[in-house]
Amino acid sequence: MRQHLFLIGLFLSGLLFTGWDLEAQDKEIKYGNTPEQLFPYNKFRQAYKYHFLEPIEFYGPGRDKKPPAGLSEVRIGFLGPLTEDEMFFEGKNMLNGALLALEQANARGGYKGLPYRLMAHSDAGLWGAAANEVIKMDEEGVWAWLGSIDDIVSHVALRATLKVEIMMVNTGDPDPTFTETNIPWAIRVISDDRQSGYALAMHIFEEKGHERVAVIRSNNRYGRVGVMEYSGVATRLGHPMMIEERFDNGETDFTMQLENIKRVKPDAVLIWANAKESALVLNQMREMGMDQPVYASDRAVSEEFLKLAGKNAEGVVSTSPYNPEANLPQLKAFQESYKERFGKEADVYAAHAYDGMNLIVKAIDQVGLNRVLIRDILTDLETFQGYPGVTGEIVFDESWNDIGEIWMARVKDGVFEYSPSPLNYERSGSKRMPGY
């Protein structure tokens, strides 16, 4: 009996100590820039253990390794959809942004007089192909590499880059789980779908007052994982999805899915897909007499979406990982240089690639040609924290995920207008755009 009472006492004291400890540490927790009211189970009990609060260290060797003698150039890798692929244009723009950053670095003298050279590889969106391309980059002697967009490609490439120990700077994949792999050889320089999902849910339910929202999404990892984050927040706000319909990329007829959505009579619809399919779904909705407000994932923020959707795009609201209209001198200089070099406007993939490549160049400038030291400085949360990129201030959390500002983007008079998101407008001191 005494033994039982003793064990119960230990258990209760443990709960008291644990509760005090978690209450103290929770004041410091804001993983993924998550607002307190959106934190899972926030209304019930503190979690027993929080993850991703400390960066993962790399304790392996290699920091004293010298670069090979006789180098004539400094090679930086690139991986993206550069052949026939649904994200080909985005991949090409990402390549252009990376290339521009290296060209400008070479104009400044390169690395101690050695020119930078971009070693471009196409992932082609094929399962397993990314690992082979990372191995090729290792054989080419790259010091770090930038990419990619497709989430499956990025996950496969991440495992390969761990094996060959080359730093990966991701500037296109929004999958929230990418930086949750606890692999200390990658950082992400673009907001993830957790941020987009949170912002959309808060805007849809808290600001616009919708209650019955249907979702139609692409039947792939991008659609599944992105909607998962939105859905979790919607449920915590008291508005679970009315219905979730899916389609495969490449489909052009969504009659069955939209008829199912019509039957539940939603007061708004969220589309989570690539720009092309998002526009096609929107057009068919309007053809079927569905006049509900439409929200979309950030891939809809593109010229392709505006061109395909035409007048139907008016009023559509999405999120954007940056504001191309921001009053930042470095952004304006980049936009001018990009247009002069490539003859077109820079998009979100070009801008983030430009920022990511500049971080690689600055890392090499500071620590030299050593893969482990390049990794060390890029993952050091002090060195580049708050870096003033063309996409805005880059802020990393402890999993090396970019949690800098994201924006709301609304189509008005045929173009996207930008406004601070519900996650950020209070800290930015800005006011909401009229009509939001």
Q: Which of 329, 353, 302 shows the shortest CA–CA distance to 100? A: 353
pLDDT > 90? residue 260:
yes
Bridge pairing between strands 392-394 and 387-389: antiparallel
The structure's pTM equals 0.88
Class (C level, CATH) for 194-320+407-428: alpha beta
Token reading at 211:
């209650």
Nearest to 355 by CA among 390, 397, 401, 402: 390
Using the predicted structure, report yes or no on whether residue 2 has a pLDDT greater than 60.
no
Q: Position 96: which residue type?
A: N
Q: Where residue 424 falls among pLDDT bands split at 50, 70, 90?
A: confident
Does this chain's domain 74-191+326-394 share its CATH topology with 194-320+407-428?
A: yes
What confidence tens digit (pLDDT) does each residue in 176-230 have? 999 988 899 999 999 999 999 999 999 999 999 999 999 999 999 999 999 998 9
**3-12, 224-233, 342-351, 425-434: range with lowest mean pLDDT:** 3-12
Q: How confident is the model over 353-361, as a mean pLDDT? A: 98
Residue 208 CB coordination number (10 Å): 15
Given the structure tokens 């060209």, which residue do they identify? 103
Q: Where are the domains of the chain?
A: 74-191+326-394, 194-320+407-428
Quick check: 311 pLDDT over 50?
A: yes
Residue 71: phi and psi, rounded to 5, are -65, 140
Amino acid occupying residue 14: G
pLDDT tens digits, 265-286: 999 999 999 999 999 999 999 9
Instruction: Say which CATH topology domain 74-191+326-394 has.
Output: Rossmann fold (3.40.50)
Q: How confident is the model at residue 33, as a pLDDT?
A: 67
Amino acid type, 37: Q
Query: Confidence class of residue 57 from pLDDT cuts 50, 70 and 90?
Result: confident
Under 8 Å between Cβ of 226 and 206? no
**Quick one: CA dihedral 424, 350, 192, 87, positive or negative?**
positive
Respond yes or no on whether the N-terminal peptide bond of residue 421 is cis (omega within 30° of 0): no
Cα 338 from Cα 82, distance rounded (Å): 19
Q: Would you say 394 and 384 are in contact if contact means Cβ atoms under 8 Å apart? A: yes
Q: What CA–CA distance (Å, rounded) separates 287 from 272?
A: 19
Three-class SS of residue 288? Answer: coil
Give pLDDT, residue 123. 87
| Cα separation, 299 vs 278, whole angstroms | 9
Residue 14 pLDDT > 50: no
In angstroms, the CA 417 to CA 396 distance is 26
Q: What is the mean pLDDT of residues 338-363?
A: 98
The amino acid at 24: A
If we measure between CA atoms, which residue out of 212, 190, 215, 195 comes closest to residue 272? 215
Asked if residues 223 and 217 have their Cβ atoms less than 8 Å apart, the reply is yes
- What's the pLDDT score for residue 17? 33
pLDDT digits (tens, 9 = 90+) for 160-174: 999 999 999 999 999
Q: What mean pLDDT do residues 394-404 have?
A: 91
Q: Is 107 exposed, middle or buried (0-12, 13-18, 19+ CB in 10 A)?
A: exposed
- Between the alpha carbon of residue 368 and those of residues 63, 164, 341, the distances in Å are 11, 19, 29
Q: Between these two residues, 411 and 237, which has the higher pLDDT value?
A: 411
Let me know: does 371 contact 167? Beta carbons within 8 Å.
Answer: yes
- pLDDT tens digits, residue range 281-307? 999 999 999 999 999 999 999 999 999
Percentage of the chain exceeding pLDDT 70:
85
In eight-state DSSP terms, residue 369 is: S
Q: What is the DSSP letter of 396?
A: B
d(CA 407, CA 387): 18
Write phi, then psi, for 402 (nearest 5 degrees). -75, 115
Report in angstroms the alpha-carbon separations of 144 from 68, 79, 117, 187, 427.
Answer: 16, 11, 12, 11, 34
